[in-house]
Amino acid sequence: MSANSKEAKKANKTNKALIVSPYLDHLGGGERYMLAAASALEALGYQIYFSWDNLAEITKLSTMLGITLKSPLLDPLVKQLYFGSNPISMYNKTRAYDVVFYLSDGSIPLLGGRKNILHMQVPFHDVGGRSLKNGFKKLCVHDIVVNSRFTKAVIDQEYGVNSKVLYPPVEMIKKEATKQQQILSVGRFEPFLNTKHQDVLIEGFRRLSAQISGWKLVLAGGTSSDTWLQTLKAKAAGLNITFAVNVSHTELSALYAESQIYWHAAGYGVDERKNPELTEHFGISTVEAISAHCIPLVVPYGGQREIVSSENLHWQSIDELVIKSKREIETPTQLDVNIDKYSTVEFKNNLANLL
C-alpha cells in the first residue's frame, strides 16, 4: 500500500467510542449520564458502541430521557467482562476503541483504549481506593470525572486522585404552560440506596394540606417494581396526590412547566460525612425544575447545595418543609440561580476538552 493510500485510509477512519455501563436497563442518574456522554461523543464524530446486548433497551431508555442517539452499535462481550475478574481480557477487548467511557462500580478497571475516561457517579468511600492494584490500573486511566464538587471531595480522598467535575448535562425545560396549584417531585420509586423518600413527602403534603386548599402533589418517576409504589399509594390514600409512573420526557416536561414548587427529599435524615452515598450526588431533576421556573425546596446535602445555595430553600425536617412550602405559596421567592453551567452545550464542550 502506498503512503498516499495509507493517509487516505487514516483520513477516512471513523473514531470509535465505547460506553460501558451494566445498568442500561435501569432508569437512573448514572444511566442518564452515560447516554448523554454517548450523545455528546456522537455529536463530536464518534461511532458509538454500547457494552450491551439489546439495542431496543438502549433506544427505549434514550427516548424516555429525550436523549438523541443516531446509530449506536453493541459490544455485548464487554458487558460480560464488567462482572468478570479478568482485567487482562478487559484491557485487550477495549484496545479497539479510541475512547472508552466507563461507569465505575467503585472498582478501577484495566482499560486499553487510546483515551480512557472513568466516571465515578457515586461518592465511594472505604473501598480500598488507594490499593497497590488500583495504583497500577490508574496508570491506564487518563481522566476520572465526577458529577459534582461534593462527589469530587470524597473520590479524591478515597482514591488519591485529582478528579474533574463534569456536571451532568441538563436539557432545559422550555415548554410554556400556565402554572397550576401544583407541587412536583421527580425521582425513582425505590426504597434503597439514595432513595427519594416519597414517603416523607407524602407525610409533608398531608400536613400542608391541612393548612391550604386546592393544591396537588405529583410524584413522578420510573420504577421496575410495584411493591414500593403500592406502599406509597396506600400512604397517599385520601390525599390530592397523583403518581406519574414511567412517563415520557414530553409528559414530564409538561409537569415541570405547570408546577409552581419542586420538592426534593433525597438525603433526608442522612449523615453525609458517614454515608455520602445516601445523599443526592448531584440532582438533575432540581436543575430541570429551576429551568421550568419551579421554586425548589431541597435537603441541603450532597450536590443539592451546589445547585440551590439559599438557606431559605433548604429543609431538614417535615415541619420545616411544610412551613417553607406554605411561605412560598403565599409569597414566592424570586429565584437567582445560574444553571447555564449545566447545559448540554457546556457538557459537550467540557467533554471535548478531555479528548
Is it the case that residue 5 has pLDDT exceeding 80? no
The region of weakest confidence among 10-19, 177-186, 207-216, 296-305 is: 10-19
Mean pLDDT of the chain: 92
Number of C-beta neighbours around residue 58 at 10 A: 22
* Global pTM value: 0.89
Q: Which of 230, 208, 232 is nearest to 318 (CA)?
A: 208
Residue 335 lies in a domain: no
Check whether residue 213 and residue 130 sit in a common domain.
no
Residue 173 in domain: no
Q: Which three cell numbers stand for residue 84?
A: 468478570
303 and 350 fall within a common domain: no
Alpha-carbon span 252 to 317, nearest angstrom = 27
Residues 208, 350: one domain?
Answer: no
Q: Is there a single domain that holds both residue 138 and residue 213?
A: no
- pLDDT, residue 2, reads 46
Q: How many domains does the chain have?
A: 2
pLDDT in tens, 262-303: 999 999 999 999 999 999 999 999 999 999 999 999 999 999
Let me know if residue 237 belongs to a domain.
yes
Residue 223 has what pLDDT? 86
Inside any domain, residue 29: yes
Do the domain assignments include residue 175?
Answer: no
pLDDT of residue 14: 86
What is the domain range of residue 271? 182-330
Same domain as 197, residue 58: no
pLDDT at 210 over 50: yes
For 84, 136, 199, 205, 353, the CA distances from 217, given in Å and listed in that order, are 44, 51, 12, 7, 42
pLDDT band of 27, cuts 50, 70, 90: confident
The verdict on 163 and 275 lying in the same domain is: no
pLDDT digits (tens, 9 = 90+) for 101-144: 999 999 999 999 999 999 999 999 999 999 999 999 999 999 99
pLDDT higher than 60, residue 201: yes
- The amino acid sitting at 324 is K
Same domain, 225 and 144: no
Domain identity same for 193 and 161: no
SS (H, E, C) the chain: CCHHHHHHHHHHCCCEEEEECCCCCCCCHHHHHHHHHHHHHHHCCCEEEECCCCHHHHHHHHHHHCCCCCCCEECHHHHHHHCCCCHHHHHHHHCCCCEEEEECCCCCCCCCCCEEEEEECCCCCCCCCCCHHHHHHHCCCCEEEECCHHHHHHHHHHHCCCCEECCCCECCCCCCCCCCCEEEEECCCCCCCCCCCHHHHHHHHHHHHCCCCCCEEEEEECCCCHHHHHHHHHHCCCCCEEEEECCCHHHHHHHHHHCCEEEECCCCCCCCCCCHHHCCCCCHHHHHHHHCCCEEEECCCCCHHHHCCCHHHECCCHHHHHHHHHHHHHCCCCCCCCCHHHEHHHHHHHHHHHC
Please indicate, yes or no, whether residues 164 and 190 belong to a single structural domain of this protein: no
Q: Write the CATH number for 21.
A: 3.40.50.2000
Identify whether residues 112 and 260 lie together within a single domain: no
Residues 161 and 63 in one domain: yes
Q: Are residues 223 and 284 in the same domain?
A: yes
